[in-house]
Structures are given as structure tokens and as C-alpha cells.
Amino acid sequence: MKPALIILAIFVGIASSANLSSQENTPRLTISHITGDFYVYTTYKLLDGKPFPSNSAYVLTNKGAVMFDTPWDTTQFQPLLDSIQHRHNKNVVLCIATHYHNDRTAGLDFLKQKGIRTFSSKLTLDLCKEHHENQAEYYFTHDTTFTIGDRTFQTYYPGEGHTKDNIVLWFADENILYGGCLIKSTESNDLGNIADANLADWPATIQNVIRRFTKPKYAIPGHFGWADNNGLEHTLQLLQKKKPE
């Protein structure tokens, strides 16, 4: 082997080892108890060689667990169901997707195969079809209140923002707003993926959420942490810095 090729082979070997190490060090699934029967679960994908977290959630009812969005990491579909069964002795009975991107919808087909009912808005369903993403089995056309066993929660479409179809969910019993990717964590320094965003409407959409659900105890973002409960206001600040082109 020529010296230049030896150097190239060594470089490729180092790069491959570094990539393997990053994958091995990437967390798979974490579950955080927020309050009462409400939990946030987080899965990860490597972006630019670094693990990037995606938050989803579930709530426990006396009829089973209800999921909000699905794991982003496709290897964690069954481990999540197993974890919920092991921790709470409950099966997942329903899942609602909050917009069409695959960090929200990747597991919908898997859940359907397991006999779990899956829902999204009609707009999300249509966008999933258009962009060839997994689709929910059922849809709703307006803001909807779900009652599953002893738990009630509601969906709310406040307008376009991160995507044209993003919805949020409100849990009155815990005073929790599950904002998905419409809300940015205070740990975020930018708006993240805005390829499908409506930057012009997003501020008004956030204001609609603030008016509708005043002072939530927790506002759960789609990515990164939620300990600082100023995600809605932080999102507005980020939008002010990022003017529509």
C-alpha cells in the first residue's frame, strides 16, 4: 500500500471509530415524570454527529396509557411500549400526533400494527399523505376534547407556526401545555428547523396559545428541556430576532 493510501485508510478508520463511538454514546430512551400521571419521554437521533433530543409524552388513565407523538428513534417503538407496561402495568391504547414531521409520526404505522388507535388532525393527515409520512388511522377536523377513562384533555389549533398544521394539547388537571415543536425550549438559541415554518404567522399563533392557556405550570417543547417555564415567551423572542424574508 502506498503511503498516501495508508494515511487515507487510517483517517477513514478513525472517522468510522468516532462515528461508532457517537452512536454508542447516544441515549436511546429516557422517561421523565412531570407531575401526577403525566410523563415526558425523549428519544434521540444523531444530527451533525451529536445526539439531538425529541420530546414526546404520555398520560396514564384507568383505561391505559395515551401517547402524544411517537418516538423519533425507530429502534425505540417497542422499548417504549415495554417500558410503559413495566413501569405502570398499562398498555398504550391511543396516540395523537401533533404535526406531520417524522419526529412526531415515525411510529404511527407500528402502533397501528399493534392495534393502538392513532389520531391526528385532518390537516396533519393530508400533509402526511403529501409528504409520504406515516399516517394516523383516525382524524379530527376541529379542536377536540378527548375523554379516555378517567382523564380528559383537549387539542387546540392556534394557527400556523413551526408547520401549518401544528397543534398543542392542554391537560387541565395538571395545568400542563404540551406544545410540541411550536414551542422552543429556553435552552434553544434558534428556531431550529424552519423549512416548513410560517415565520409571519408564528408570533400571533404563540399569542393565541398564551391567551387560551394562561400561566401553565409546564410548557413542554418538542426538543430540549422544559425546567424553565418561559418557553412561549422565549419562542416570541427568537421570532423577533428572525424576521420573515
Active-site positions read 99, 101, 103, 162, 193
Taking each continuous run of H as one helix and of E as one strand, the counts in the chain are: 7, 12
Residue 56 bridge partners (DSSP): 41
Query: How far apart, in whole angstroms, are the C-alpha atoms of residue 10 and residue 4?
Result: 10
CA-based diameter of the chain, in Å?
72
> What angle (nearest 5°) sits at the alpha carbon of residue 190, between those of residues 157 and 76?
70
Grid cell digits, residue 190? 434558534
Query: How far apart, in whole angstroms, are the C-alpha atoms of residue 96 and residue 166?
Result: 12
Residue 61 bridge partners (DSSP): 64
**CB neighbours of 80 closer than 8 A, spacing ≥ 6?**
29, 41, 43, 71
Q: What is the side-by-side strand order in the sheet with 218-221?
A: 145-148, 151-156, 168-171, 176-180, 218-221
